Structure 1
Amino acid sequence: MDKRWRDIGALAGALFVVNVAARLIIQFGTDDGDDAAADRVSLGMFVLIGLILAVVAFYWGRRRPLGDWAADVAGAVLVALLLTVLVGPLLVGDSPFAGGAGTFFAQIWLYLAATGAGTLVGYLVLTSLGLDHRSQSLKRYAELKAAKPRKVVRR
């Protein structure tokens, strides 16, 4: 059980570190009026977060049932989202609500869209390759049933 919580915490921490790195790049690597560069860095951050979750979904989906790892991913995303929205701006000297309510809620929706898309892509690739936990269980069951000889019933 401790390993499970450690994995959830490590995933949430990795997602938060990606966001902090993007915020620091925007803060120190771009000019104040260069919104295009900030948008490119933000887009790169969302793509990287989606890619991380796609890899996690692919890896965890091979070893555990969907219900187990999906709850872990959802918990990690929720913790990372709260850290990203509430603590992330404080690290670069802003307020979480500095851009207004629209910006605050836009961050939440974009984050959820990126994480949902990444997780979905990872799981769909895993399922389409037939490597997910359920497909492997069904394959083992079919092989077991095919390996046993049929019992002959005499009358």
Structure 2
Amino acid sequence: MKRWMPGIVIGLSLFVINVAARIVVDVSGQGDDVDAEFTVGLYATIAMGVVAAVGGAWWAVRKPVEHVIAELGLGLVGGVLLAVFIGPLIVGLNPFAGAEWLVMQIVFFAVVSGLGAFVGFLMVMMFGADYRSKHLKRVERHYGKQKSRR
């Protein structure tokens, strides 16, 4: 369970951001104002991307790529599904009102979250601080010392 806790936290963070944006639009009474709804949705989408990027960077430093994909990917998928299916229910909407809209939301949130995590992973990799780069540096130091002994 301890291994999956960060993924659960990332997924719940995505869900909370989405629900908070839905509540802000609902409570402010701007559900009919397309511009206000778009602005709140844009901020929520940016926040979701940033959370996914931080998660991707955090995992990249500590885990190999296959663990990043499995653990973070599962958290992102869980967060996206919660945001799409449970989020509307919290503010009194029907998530199954339109199949096209449902699929579009799933794809959009998955792309935003996936790109955010990928950008976070790439940033860490770019600076050589990811798990594999650190391992290769340790190997290089080890074999460099052996070579100098000969």
Would you say same fold, with TM above 0.5? yes
Partner SS state of residue 3, structure 1 = coil
Query: Displacement of 1:32 after TM fit?
Result: 3.1
C-alpha distance in 1, partners of 2:51/2:81? 18
Structure 1 match to 2:52: 53
C-alpha distance in 1, partners of 2:26/2:146? 65
Structure 2 gaps, min length 5: none
Q: State the TM-score, normalized to the length of structure 2.
A: 0.93
The 8 Å contact of residues 52 and 76 in structure 2, kept in 1 or not, is answered as no
Structure 2 counterparts to residues 80-95 of structure 1, below 5 A? 80-95=79-94
Query: Displacement of 1:117 after TM fit?
Result: 1.1
Structure 2 match to 1:117: 115
The 8 Å contact of residues 61 and 69 in structure 1, kept in 2 or not, is answered as yes
Partner SS state of residue 4, structure 1 = coil
User: Among residues 107, 127, 135, which one is paired with 2:105 in the alignment?
Assistant: 107
Structure 1 gaps, min length 5: none
The 8 Å contact of residues 62 and 132 in structure 1, kept in 2 or not, is answered as yes
Partner SS state of residue 2, structure 2 = helix
C-alpha distance in 2, partners of 1:46/1:32? 17
What is the CA deviation profile of residues 16-38 of structure 1, one whole-angstrom value per residue up to 9, with x for unaligned ones? Answer: 11111011011112423201111
Partner SS state of residue 148, structure 1 = helix
Query: Displacement of 1:150 after TM fit?
Result: 5.1
Q: Which has the larger radius of gyration?
A: 1
Q: CA RMSD in A?
A: 1.4
